[in-house]
Structure 1
């Protein structure tokens, strides 16, 4: 159904996967960026368990960080170690909607990515697709919208 959406007036479209973290990384949805959520309650080992998803991430949001004092089994350093062991250079941004931690940084990242995508679209052609980290065939046009694929472990 996504291919039937009129995206002309859409600046950002978030697509959340359903189910687990195994399958969604395999599907091309025409996204320009992949954002993977690593939820504190889910455990710091998720990058090691689901390497495909975390390798495809352009940004990893470490969510629910306000729970860290209560979930002492979770180590942000260990989570980042697992992420870097995958040779992923994706930024890891700790985030809490409860405390507001890093919300400004998250919004700044989105604004930067939107501006970069708009510039690629102005340049036209293959540049409009942006730097994809995977090879695939596009059977759809890339317009002036930013499509972000959100992958959550919750």
Structure 2
């Protein structure tokens, strides 16, 4: 059950990184390129980046299933590998067109920036590190487990 919850959390983290991170970067770059800074937009973009960073940090440091970091790391690393092998194919995965919502379009522009600059590769590797820790795959030892493990006579071997 813990790994199913980790899978669902991993999907949420993936959406937060791709959607929220992309949207925040797009607006932060717009504020940086503007001659007059719109402080409201800047604070919204920075707080969105901080929220995405908080989610990634909690999942990375938390004691949840390693699938919570494995899913977004594989998405980010796979997209980076596709970008390294075929740039046009990787960029075609970004949503564009008239029928796409404006927020999704803005998130796609930011995601393109993060993909082409290598931030997704960096974040994918950082999210993959907790998967390599064996202690993340085993469950916690409870005090109740000790009652069933010991016997007064000892074992046969």
Alignment TM-score > 0.5, same fold? no
Instruction: Give the TM-score normalised by structure 1.
Output: 0.29
Q: Relative to total residues, which structure has the larger strand share, 1 or 2?
A: 1
Structure ID, larger Rg: 2
Instruction: Give the TM-score normalised by structure 2.
Output: 0.29
Determine which structure has greater relative contact order: mean sequence separation of CA pairs < 8 Å that are 6+ residues apart, divided by chain length: 1
Q: Relative to total residues, which structure has the larger helix share, 1 or 2?
A: 2
